[in-house]
Amino acid sequence: MTAATTARERTAARRQAQHRYGAVFVLVLALLLFEIIAPAGSGTRAVDVALSGAALTVAVATSRIGGRVRRSRARVVATVALLFVIGIGSGLFGRPITFLVVTALVALIPVALVGGLLRLVRQAGVTFQVVAGALTIYLVVGLMFASIIAFTAVVETGPYFKQGLVSTGEVVYYSFTVLTTTGFGDYTAAQPFGHALSVLEMLTGQLYLVTVIGIVVGNFAGRRTARDIRSEPDLEQT
């Protein structure tokens, strides 16, 4: 094995280590499920910040910027999230602060992902990590719409839902039934703004699925098929 080959292998290993979008997807999915099933309380809010902070930390750590800057930013994000977790767990910060912190952390995840995803596509094509990153953004879209709904429900004069007040978990649940156009109908918006927001979320979810996810998954499947064909033995030579 030559020195040049060894250097190329080390470079490839470093690039692979910089793209852990599968881990970001798992953390965002865990945050989503936890927000739906967890009871209200300071402990729950602290875990929300911990999960969203961990997801953003990994997203920043896998970004396209230089290694030293990337590690410094990841440490800053992790430190800020940890401070808020301690503050929320000790009762220093209430529900409004937690809402703002979680919303900000989640909103920054796709910002940190996009540059690294584009770089990975240029370097290696559509890989499993690219698919995971694209799906992560889809989950973030649903969580951000849930945040908009929760904020609107607070500032509107009348109830946002015809069913009355709902919990944070029910808002997240409602957001994803709209995003995926499942539409169970157990929760429905009562105000015109809520109707318009539901239509916007439905369109966003469907357009993202049929364009971004459709193209990414299609290219990923095509890449795997082409690799399998190249790996088959030449039957004419056997």
Are the CB atoms for 13 and 140 separated by under 8 Å? Answer: no
For residues 225-232, average pLDDT: 55
Q: Look at 26 and 227; give whichever has higher pLDDT.
A: 26
Question: What are the contacts of 188-197 at 24+ separation with CB within 8 A?
Answer: 188/161, 188/162, 188/163, 189/160, 189/161, 189/162, 190/158, 190/159, 190/160, 190/161, 190/162, 191/156, 191/158, 191/160, 193/152, 193/156, 194/149, 194/152, 194/160, 194/161, 197/145, 197/148, 197/149, 197/152
Is the predicted pLDDT of residue 230 greater than 80, yes or no? no
Question: Which of the four pLDDT bands, split at 50, 70 and 90, describes residue 75?
Answer: very high
pLDDT in tens, 156-202: 888 899 998 889 999 999 999 999 999 898 999 999 999 999 999 99
Q: What pLDDT was estimated at residue 178?
A: 97
**CB-CB contact of 58 with 23 (8 Å):** yes
- pLDDT at residue 73 above 80? yes
Residue with tokens 């910089």: 18
Q: 64: exposed, middle or buried (C-beta count within 10 Å: 0-12, 13-18, 19+)?
A: middle
